[in-house]
């Protein structure tokens, strides 16, 4: 188990009251990834009544690597039980990309979890980026999440402009699952998966809304790297508001924030 650390006695970095004791800091990103993987394994091993909510992106790559290592080390019987019982919904998918398209989140999940763990692809669900009517697909996807009882544990990263999922600012807490236009900042940040060319990043996506995210039983927000220090500082200091969509998480009683030292600017 990774060992969490106390924050240094610097008032500006002290966890705010709304986090209470639900805040862990790790010196190294590798230890952060191991801790998140541990929590995901615990959730899966408990045979949760509600499905996992999964995320993609660079922050999640080492997390899924660590999770695969942990799960493949289980006994064959326990691994089989997890394979059979796996249920998850991803946050989002690019409009215009399908499961075989480079840069799609469906292909990313196949590479990172489905194939290494021997999961049935239908157990790891994502919006259909190739749907003819993205708005109708968003409604269908929201209905599927609702029919599954909502999300149990929702895994989240923090976007550089404060988005969670693809809920770009400005965004209120009632935002539903929907098709959205991606900001220039988000397309630039995500260009690494598209040969570094922001113009190749799809202009739109289907995303679970804050309505579904805040409806999760528990939320695990993971923030890593010095590039996220500025937006994390805003999240820790600013009151909830539409200019920082992640700030709506502050009112969630099941929020757990896990960060590395670099994300705190240290």
Active site residues: 92, 161, 163, 168
Q: How far is it, in rounded angstroms, from Cα 167 to Cα 212?
A: 11
Could you tell me the CA-to-CA distances from 196 to 58, 63, 103, 160, 183 in Å, in that order? 14, 23, 11, 17, 16
Is-contact 212 247, C-beta < 8 A? no
Q: Is 208 helix (H, G, I), strand (E, B) or coil?
A: coil
Give just the sign of the alpha carbon dihedral 96, 98, 101, 107: positive
Three-state DSSP class for residue 223? strand
CA-CA distance, 89 to 125, in Å (whole number)? Answer: 5
Separation of alpha carbons 217 and 226, rounded Å: 29
Beta bridge partners of 221: 156, 257
């Amino acid at each position: 188990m990774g060992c969490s650390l106390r924050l240094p006695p610097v008032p500006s970095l002290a966890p705010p009251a709304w986090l209470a004791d639900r805040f862990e800091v790790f010196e190294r990103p590798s230890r952060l990834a191991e801790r998140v993987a541990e929590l995901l394994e615990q959730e899966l091993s408990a045979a949760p009544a509600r499905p996992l909510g999964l995320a993609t992106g660079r922050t999640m790559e080492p997390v899924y690597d660590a999770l695969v290592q942990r799960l493949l080390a289980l006994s064959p019987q326990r691994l089989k039980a997890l394979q059979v019982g796996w249920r998850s919904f991803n946050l989002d998918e690019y409009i215009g990309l399908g499961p075989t398209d480079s840069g799609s989140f469906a292909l990313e999940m196949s590479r990172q979890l489905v194939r290494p763990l021997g999961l049935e692809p239908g157990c790891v669900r994502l919006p259909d980026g190739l749907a003819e009517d993205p708005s109708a697909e968003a409604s269908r996807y929201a209905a599927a999440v609702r029919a599954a009882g909502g999300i149990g544990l929702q895994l989240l990263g923090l976007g550089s402009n404060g988005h969670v999922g693809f809920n770009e600012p400005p965004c209120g807490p009632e935002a539903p699952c929907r098709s959205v236009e991606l900001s220039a900042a988000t397309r630039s940040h995500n260009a690494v998966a598209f040969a570094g060319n922001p113009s190749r990043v799809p202009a739109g996506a289907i995303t679970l809304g804050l309505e579904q995210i805040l409806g999760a039983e528990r939320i695990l927000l993971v923030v890593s790297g010095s590039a996220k220090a500025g937006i994390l500082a805003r999240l820790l200091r600013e009151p909830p508001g539409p200019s920082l969509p992640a700030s709506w998480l502050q009112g969630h009683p099941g929020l757990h924030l896990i960060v590395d030292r670099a994300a705190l600017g240290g």
